[in-house]
Amino acid sequence: MTQVLLFSCGDLDVLKQLKERLFGNHPEKLKVVCITTAANVYAEDARDWQKSEMDTFREFGFRLDTFDLLGKTPQQVQNYLADADVIYVTGGNTYYLLEQAQKSGFVEIAREHINQGKLYIGCSAGAVLACHAVDFIQNMDDPSKGNPSGFKAINALQYNLFPHADHYKYGPQVERIASSIDNGYPNILLGDNQALLIQGDKLEILEAPKA
């Protein structure tokens, strides 16, 4: 059964809701391969948001085994993911991520693993990568940062998934793009404290409790 969990940012309260359903009582025993590639376009000292995102998953109990797709061959990617329990792709620039995911074979390899029932977790750019394509986000990300050969992506989700729909900066962009796009796919707008869980053909929006 397909299992995909998509976030805008990663949320500890949502993860806790899913602990027994997805991860069992010992998430620390799972091998979680964390693909950090999407953030490569940012300076090391400008990635606090990525550290915060990854720290959320560490606080939940995951031990993250980081892996960068840049310069990797499909065989290297396949070997590294072979015994992973969870594939987790962080946020960053979606177009750059897609370029490196194509060059390394990750798009096809991740699709294979998802079809075999391996859990895929994506945040922001990593969530968009799970969709049928990525170009529906238009200029929410800077397209000049990547040079993918086309925009087709993993195709685990037949929707346009817009992360950060309630974010002060991205929210107005999401509203503008989502209201005008007409590519034949329905839209899902995901807030920063929400997640989309896909299990087989069932979709469920999960939300952190209000403070």
- Predicted pLDDT of residue 85: 96
Q: Say how far apart CA 173 and CA 168 lie, in whole Å.
A: 10
pLDDT band at 122 (very low <50, low <70, confident <90, very high): very high
Instruction: Measure Cα distances from 53 to 28, 122, 158 in Å.
Output: 17, 11, 25
**What does pLDDT average to over the chain?**
95
- Predicted pLDDT of residue 3: 96
* Residue 211 pLDDT > 70: no
Q: Say how far apart CA 37 and CA 66 lie, in whole Å.
A: 10
- Predicted pLDDT of residue 24: 86
* Residue 96 pLDDT > 90: yes
* Residue 17 pLDDT > 70: yes
Q: Which 8-state DSSP code applies to residue 140?
A: G
Q: Say how far apart CA 201 and CA 189 lie, in whole Å.
A: 19
- Predicted pLDDT of residue 209: 79
Q: Say how far apart CA 51 and CA 95 lie, in whole Å.
A: 20
- Predicted pLDDT of residue 124: 96
Q: What is the pLDDT of residues 136-178, one digit of tens each?
A: 999 999 999 999 999 999 999 999 999 999 999 999 999 999 9
* Residue 195 pLDDT > 90: yes
Which amino acid is present at 43?
A: A
Q: In the beta sheet, which residues pair with residue 195?
A: 7, 206
Query: What is the enclosing helix (H) or strand (E) of 124?
Result: none
DSSP assignment of 34-81: EE-GGGGGS-GGG-HHHHHHHHHHHHHT-EEEEE--TT--HHHHHHHH
Higher local confidence (pLDDT), 152 or 19: 152
* Residue 105 pLDDT > 80: yes
- What share of the chain has pLDDT > 90, as a percent? 91
Q: In the beta sheet, which residues pair with residue 123?
A: 7
Q: Half-sphere exposure of residue 97, counting CA atoms within 13 Å on the CB side?
A: 31
Q: What is the pLDDT of residues 23-41, one digit of tens each?
A: 988 899 999 999 999 999 9
Token pair of 59 as six digits: 């606080």
Q: Is 16 within 8 Å of 175 (Cβ atoms)?
A: no
Q: Is 18 within 8 Å of 63 (Cβ atoms)?
A: no
* Residue 86 pLDDT > 90: yes
- Predicted pLDDT of residue 53: 94
